[in-house]
């Protein structure tokens, strides 16, 4: 499986990368839906939440913590933000490399569409 996100990890496609470590990468969404819209992805090419294995638990915990740190560094923590993982067709997933949206900088509505 190779997606546009694998190409961003491998620097074959440009992106505005804002955080990277051994396990994950964060970059700004090319089509932002809020003043701050960042995608956080595992370097491991997991297709979706539906393909997650129990062994991926520590990786997902690491990503949740890094999401909180990125939100803090983007100045979102006090007013708030939203983490979203769209999953498969009815969940609105378009890129089949698991990714977490970090959205903030405006009032977000509930329920989402």
Residue 94 binds ligand AMP (CB under 6 A): yes
Residue 86 binds ligand AMP (CB under 6 A): yes
| SS3 label, residue 49 | helix
Task: Tabulate helix, strand, coil % of the chain (nearest 5).
Answer: 30, 20, 50
**Which residue in 9, 93, 100, 104 binds ligand AMP (CB under 6 A)?**
93
Active-site residue, 99 included: yes
| Neighbour order of strands in the sheet with 17-20 | 17-20, 24-28, 36-42, 100-104, 81-84
Q: List the interface residues with ligand AMP, window 52-81 (CB under 6 A).
A: none
Give the catalytic positions in this structure: 99
Residues that bind ligand AMP in the complex, under the rule CB under 6 A: 4, 13, 15, 29-31, 39, 86, 92-95
């Amino acid at each position: 499986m190779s997606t546009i996100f694998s190409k961003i990890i491998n620097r074959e496609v440009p992106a505005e990368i804002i955080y990277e470590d051994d396990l994950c990468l964060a970059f700004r969404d090319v089509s932002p839906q809020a003043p701050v819209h960042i995608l956080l992805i595992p370097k491991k090419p997991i297709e979706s939440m539906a393909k997650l294995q129990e062994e991926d638990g520590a990786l997902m915990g690491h990503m949740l913590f890094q999401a909180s740190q990125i939100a803090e560094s983007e100045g979102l923590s006090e007013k708030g933000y939203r983490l979203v993982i769209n999953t498969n067709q009815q969940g609105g997933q378009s890129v089949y490399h698991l990714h977490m949206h970090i959205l903030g900088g405006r009032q977000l509505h509930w329920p989402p569409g």
